[in-house]
Structure 1
Amino acid sequence: MEKNKTEIILIALAIIAFAFRFYLMPSHLFFGPEQGRDFLVIRDIVVNHKLTLIGSKTDIMGIFHGPIFYYLAAIPFAVTGGNPLGVSAFFIIIQGLTVFLVYQLTYELTKRRRAGLIAAILFAVSFLFIVYARWLSNPPLSIPFSLFFMLFLLRYVRGKSWYLVASAFAYGLLGQAEFINFLLFAAIGLLTCLMFWKKCIRTKLVIVVTAFLVGLVTSFATYILFDARHDGLVSRGVLDLIQGKSGYQLYLSTSTAGAFRVLLEQAAAIMGLSGWVAGLVVTVPLMPVLFKRMKRDASLSILALWIWVPPFIFAILRHGMLEQLYAGVIGGFIILLALAIDFLWEKKTVIGVASLVIIVVLSVTAVFRNLPGNYQVFFQAPQPAVRYSDQLAVIDWIYMQADGRQFSFQAYTIPYFLQDAWVYLLGYYGQKNYGYLPDDQGRKRMYVVIQEDTLDPKFQKKWYRETTSVWGTKTNQARIGNYTVEEWAL
């Protein structure tokens, strides 16, 4: 009976999670240059059967993420005919279903259903996890993959030896989602084995070898094949990083401060708060609870490793910090928060319930306060006013003005001059609905889309003065959301 009740609650929480993650979709779907780039690759996979061995590039020369995001996205892409909203919905569903995984890991860590349900509730309504779910990109996959890895690792150290193979597979998926995960979770896994070395050394050789082979193939098979065809490009990129020829940009003190600052900001954002100070205020009281629980069950120490090993690694790397580098880590904070609330609940029910209610209210308030204007949405911070619905409206306006006549197209984008989003949408939406694509040959008119640039308006004015304004004569214009659309006779 208790199990059935738990399952019903989890199903209800998954539905709630879906509702929050689909809030204001499709109008607020962010489809920027990186999404356009990815969709052009996915289209090649589905339509042209042009397979790829690597994913998108990282910010370090010669190093790429794995292609798992592309191949997963190819499934809804093929089903929906390349509809970005359909692909986004596919990944949102994956993130929503992660509620069950959060519950299971928390339950197995604590052996307490209440703690598992608290974690599931927090995950379902967490502002930060809702933001990640709405990001049509590869880093959010680190969230479910990290939970799988930690669940399998926990089962392994508790005596279920064959879960070492499962954790090796999950490790490969983590690295395929974000390249940095190879380093982060290798360190977490190795430190866990050192901490539980008596159990690890009793693992049968056949299990160790199988896990090694599974991890090797899942993690690096695509990279090895890619390197063989491209003169060791990725290997040279990794070697340059190790030797300090790339990636190392900051003083150790600066990188340390940055690594912990961003981690604390992410901890605060889980509850809809902002700033590292709020994260510090939240995190500091949680650690004594974890240490107290660790005295009862040493396997809970993997939770501490999960949260605190990554910032030390980032500090040593001395590379500039991005929020998404912690995508595979933030799941640990949800569980830590659930542990603390369950601890308070155990001491005095009213305090535990009140703590949970306050955090839920903070998170839900942040959703309705921030998402309509895309405030505190880190991946859209430079361009919060960009809307997928406006992009489609721009394309409709252009084709209606063209009235079947050929035209050329140009756009001012952020980052500058990356046209991939418009290239894809003109193919998916424009050609699909109006029957033809822009063509620079024999053109007599051009449509220019100008995205408002609040960060560098002087550069935008200079660009307009030196390019668009000398191309011809402006004959019409419209303002659609964040975009100015101009028609020019050439």
Structure 2
Amino acid sequence: MRFFILLFCIGLALRIYPSFHHIVFPYDQARDALMFQDMVNRTHLPLLGPVTDIPGVHHGPLFYLLMIPLYALSNSDPWLPVFFLMLVNLSTMIPLYFFTKEVFHDKRVTIITLVLFIVSYEMISYSKWISNPVLAVPLFATFLLLLWRVWKTQKKQVFWLGLVFGLLVQSEIVLAYLLFPCYIILSKGRVHIKQWLLFHLGVGVGILPYLVAELKYHFQATNALIHFLGSTAQKNPLVFLTTFRHGISILSTLVRNNLFGLPPISALLTFVIITVLCFFAVRKTIPSWKPALHFLYGMLACGVGVLMFGKSPEIFFFAGFGSILLIIAAVFLVVMMKEKQWEFAAFITCIILASQIALTVEQARAGNAYIQAQKGVLFDQRLQVLDAIYTRVSSDTPFTISVFGTPYGVRTSWAYYFSYYSSRQAVILPKWYGYTVNGFIGDDILPHVDAPARVHIAVYEPEFSIAPQYKDEFTAYQNAHTTIVERFTLNNHSIEIRKPK
């Protein structure tokens, strides 16, 4: 127990480093924070969760239901939600402990797996990302444990397996492809109707909000998914080839960010070599571990299923799969120990630990995050931008702001940043001047005006995907109505202090 507590404390310290506010916080996180505040004010609980990129399809509300009270308690400060997600992330150690203990019956596999988990750059990064897929990390490890138990004749666990699967789907709807290994395991041996009913009852409880939403909104998500899958089936086979290549790239990144901090392809090749060596070494040294390895390899292969939809996969479609990589690596190291290859096992262990810690420190110092579309959109970096603005604008001076950012013309992100900063620093809020798109949450925080104030701020966010002419139009509009007084760059943001012409 003391060792477990020590690992927990080390893992928590690595996750807090360098601060609670060193978190990726672009539009999605700002939108959610404002939405949570609105839900608290209206005492409204959501039936649907975050939107997906398939129109009409949402994730489940589980993430929202957990975040709403945390944002309420912290007065919309993300530090408490982040701290909670760090604890949720570290709770993954519990199912990993029981899985490795029950499957391998060797304390060394358990200890090495947990040590690798707490230093994994991917696991650390997921703990600091306020988004629905992060819940899949502990849920996936629990899913592995329950699936193994059901496979090993503990059929009474089928309800809980179904429940955890349903919660996984709520956290990331793409993980519905994990239904396939469930059906394969349930089909082994004699098929009992009671077990199938209990499994689907558990699934129904896990996705209950989906079922209610489908009835309320006339099967909106079902129809949208049918339409999406129908259009996917008509795609050119070359699209699937491109998707598969992208999937291999993601697998390479998973290995890099969990085990070997090498260039992704080199990391993948290293893992493949270790996997092959592990397979043959287990056959020779510990044949009783063969079913466990087959189980883990089979679960990795299940991830290929998501590539069959012709949709370009994202790294978080495989949230939790890093746990499988860590377990396989731990098994390999223990097998090397059993074969008296102590120096080699120690060398590989040191390489993994050093590379993962170095990757965490390196990325933090560079201001990078694991899932990041733009540089400079970490929360503490945006606060530094506001610090720089307010050092040039006195706290009681009215001013306007224009932002060339993403989504272009939408005020939501900067509405949250300014609202957060204003409530803590007792400064006035600016008005929004220039191109704007109405109808988004936060519009009332930065009301639009038709003329720039005596002090006007123009902000160019770090590079993002948009046609170049929009930036030219934005700049031309600013130059037509205002004159630059000062220009500076901070955290990849270009900031201009302007005055009206």
Kept in 2: contact 1:26–1:388 (CA 8 A): no
Alignment-mate amino acid for residue 240 of structure 1: H
Structure 1 residues 463 and 337, CA gap change in structure 2 (3 angstroms)? farther
Shift of 1:402: 5.2
Structure 1 residues 484 and 82, CA gap change in structure 2 (3 angstroms)? same
Shift of 1:391: 1.8
Distance 1:247 1:133 in 2: 38
**Long gaps (5+) in structure 1:** 1-6
Distance 2:28 2:56 in 1: 18
Matched, 1:336 2:346: no
Distance 2:263 2:204 in 1: 39
Shift of 1:227: 3.0
Q: Secondary structure of the residue that 2:155 maps to in structure 1?
A: coil
Shift of 1:175: 0.5
Question: Structure 1, residues 102-149: CA drift from partner, whole Å, max 9, x if none?
Answer: 222222221211101100011111122222222221212211110011
Shift of 1:335: 0.9
Q: Secondary structure of the residue that 1:251 maps to in structure 2?
A: helix
Question: Structure 1, residues 241-269: CA drift from partner, whole Å, max 9, x if none?
Answer: 22125995753322222222321321122
Kept in 2: contact 1:181–1:328 (CA 8 A): no
Matched, 1:186 2:159: no
Structure 2 length-normalised TM: 0.86
Alignment-mate amino acid for residue 212 of structure 2: L
Q: 2:375 aligns with which of 375, 380, 384?
A: 384
Q: 1:215 aligns with which of 203, 207, 219?
A: 203
Q: 1:233 aligns with which of 195, 220, 239?
A: 220
Query: Corresponding residue for 1:440?
Result: 448
Q: 2:164 aligns with which of 164, 170, 184?
A: 170
Segment of structure 1 superposing worse, 453-462 or 362-371 = 453-462
Distance 2:75 2:427 in 1: 16
Query: Corresponding residue for 1:263?
Result: 251
Alignment-mate amino acid for residue 197 of structure 2: V
Shift of 1:336: 1.0
Kept in 2: contact 1:247–1:319 (CA 8 A): no
Question: Structure 1, residues 286-344: CA drift from partner, whole Å, max 9, x if none?
Answer: 14524746952535533122111112x13321211211111132211111111111111
Structure 1 length-normalised TM: 0.88
Query: Corresponding residue for 1:15?
Result: 9
RMSD: 2.8
Distance 1:168 1:256 in 2: 29
**Long gaps (5+) in structure 2:** 431-446
Q: Secondary structure of the residue that 2:403 maps to in structure 1?
A: strand
Structure 1 residues 246 and 390, CA gap change in structure 2 (3 angstroms)? farther
Kept in 1: contact 2:307–2:313 (CA 8 A): no
Structure 1 residues 351 and 481, CA gap change in structure 2 (3 angstroms)? closer
Question: Structure 1, residues 315-374: CA drift from partner, whole Å, max 9, x if none?
Answer: 321211211111132211111111111111111133323321221122122222232114
Distance 2:234 2:360 in 1: 35
Shift of 1:392: 1.9
Distance 1:247 1:26 in 2: 46
Distance 1:450 1:217 in 2: 46
Segment of structure 1 superposing worse, 291-300 or 61-70 = 291-300
Alignment-mate amino acid for residue 359 of structure 1: I
Question: Structure 1, residues 382-438: CA drift from partner, whole Å, max 9, x if none?
Answer: 423334223223334545615324444332224544542212222233245326544
Distance 2:81 2:48 in 1: 20
Kept in 1: contact 2:62–2:171 (CA 8 A): yes
Matched, 1:469 2:462: no
Structure 1 residues 48 and 454, CA gap change in structure 2 (3 angstroms)? closer
Structure 1 residues 105 and 47, CA gap change in structure 2 (3 angstroms)? farther
Alignment-mate amino acid for residue 275 of structure 1: P
Distance 2:123 2:196 in 1: 34
Q: Secondary structure of the residue that 1:51 maps to in structure 2?
A: coil
Percent identity of equivalent pairs: 21
Q: 2:343 aligns with which of 350, 356, 368?
A: 350
Structure 1 residues 340 and 299, CA gap change in structure 2 (3 angstroms)? closer
Distance 1:437 1:431 in 2: 10
Shift of 1:442: 7.8
Matched, 1:486 2:496: yes
Query: Corresponding residue for 2:354?
Result: 361
Shift of 1:478: 5.0
Distance 1:161 1:192 in 2: 10
Distance 2:255 2:73 in 1: 37
Structure 1 residues 171 and 299, CA gap change in structure 2 (3 angstroms)? same
Q: How does 1:90-239 map to 2 (within 5 A)?
A: 90-183=84-177, 185-194=178-187, 197-198=188-189, 201=191, 203=192, 205=194, 207-219=195-207, 221-239=208-226
Structure 1 residues 80 and 248, CA gap change in structure 2 (3 angstroms)? farther
Query: Corresponding residue for 2:385?
Result: 394
Shift of 1:70: 1.4
Q: Aligned residue pairs: how many?
A: 474
Alignment-mate amino acid for residue 296 of structure 1: S
Distance 1:448 1:246 in 2: 46
Q: Secondary structure of the residue that 1:54 maps to in structure 2?
A: coil
Distance 2:19 2:40 in 1: 25
Kept in 2: contact 1:150–1:167 (CA 8 A): no
Q: Secondary structure of the residue that 2:460 maps to in structure 1?
A: strand
Alignment-mate amino acid for residue 202 of structure 2: V
Distance 1:230 1:466 in 2: 45
Query: Corresponding residue for 2:435?
Result: none
Kept in 1: contact 2:91–2:138 (CA 8 A): no
Kept in 1: contact 2:404–2:471 (CA 8 A): no
Distance 1:308 1:480 in 2: 44
Alignment-mate amino acid for residue 217 of structure 2: H
Kept in 2: contact 1:407–1:447 (CA 8 A): yes
Q: Secondary structure of the residue that 1:328 maps to in structure 2?
A: coil
